[in-house]
Chain A
C-alpha cells in the first residue's frame, strides 16, 4: 500500500515537471513506463486524468494547507473514485514541497511583456570631457538586458545609460518608494 503513495507522488511530480518546470521532454508515455509499467492503458488514463484535475484545482486556487485539507477530505468522500488514504498522503506531501515553486513558475509564465533579464554596471572616471568640470567626475554606467519572456529565441535588447552620483541617489529614492508600495501588498 505504501507503494501506492510512492507511485501517486511520482506521477504528481512528473506532471509538475512537465507542466510547470519546463521539462517538456517528459511525456505521458514516459510517465506510464516509469511509474505504472504493469497497469493497463485505460486505468493509467484514469489515474492521469485524476492527477491532472487535482493539480489544476490546487494550482488555480494556490491552496494553503488548510484549504488543501478541506479539498482532500471532499475528494475522499466522492462517490466516484474517492481518493485513498495513500493517495491523500501523496498529494499532501507533494503540495507541501511544490506549492511555492509552482506558483513562482506561474508568475514568471504570466509576465508576457518585456522583462528585465540581466543587470550589470560599471563605474567610470572621465579622463577627457568637453567641460573641465566633468573631468574626474565618476559616473555609474548601467546595462540592462530586456527581453520577451515568451520569445526566448529573440535576442535581448540592451539598454545602457550613465548616471552621476546625484542622479543615482534620486533613482535609489524611487526604488525605495517602489519597495514601500510593494510591501503594502506582500505583507498581507
Chain B
C-alpha cells in the first residue's frame, strides 16, 4: 500500500454505496470496430462527520477484473482475521 503512514493518520471514510453501469464502446475516429465493454462506477463515501463524497471512475475490462480480484483477496483476508 502506498504510504501506510498517511493512511493511519487520515480519517478513513466509510463506503456508503456503489452505483455502476456497464457500457459498450462501439466506434471511434481511430477504430470503427471498437467493441469493448467498460465499467463506470460511482463511489459514495462518508467521512466521520457524516459528509458524503462522490467519485466516479471508468475501468477497462482488465482494470475492472483487477479490482474485483483485489476485493476477493481482501474478503479472504478479512475472514481469516
Interface, chain A (partner B; CB < 8 A):
59-62, 103, 106-111, 113-116, 118-123, 125, 138-146, 157, 159-163, 165, 167-169, 171-172, 174-175, 178-179, 181-182, 185-186
Contacts and interface: CB of A to CB of B under 8 A. Distances in A.
A59 B28 CA distance: 11
A123 B57 contact: no
A113 B36 CA distance: 16
B33 A122 contact: no
Contacts of A160: 7, 10, 12-13
Task: Please report whether the interface of chain B is mostly helix, strand, loop or mixed according to DSSP.
Answer: mixed
Given A106-B34, A161-B14, A175-B68, A168 B61 contact: no
A129 B34 CA distance: 51
Contacts of A103: 31
10 contacts: A107-B34, A107-B36, A110-B25, A114-B58, A115-B63, A119-B67, A160-B12, A179-B65, A182-B39, A182-B61
B33 A62 contact: yes
A52 to B, nearest CB: 13
B74 A59 contact: no
Interface residues of B, number: 51
Contacts of B12: 141, 160-162
A115 B30 contact: no
A61 B18 CA distance: 35
B73 interface: yes
B81 A62 contact: no
Contacts of A146: 55, 57
B63 A142 contact: no
A62 to B, nearest CB: 4
A62 B66 contact: no
A36 B15 CA distance: 59
A65 to B, nearest CB: 14
A64 to B, nearest CB: 10
Contact of A161 (B15, B25, B34): B15
Contact of B1 (A115, A120, A161, A179): A120
Contacts of B70: 119-121, 142
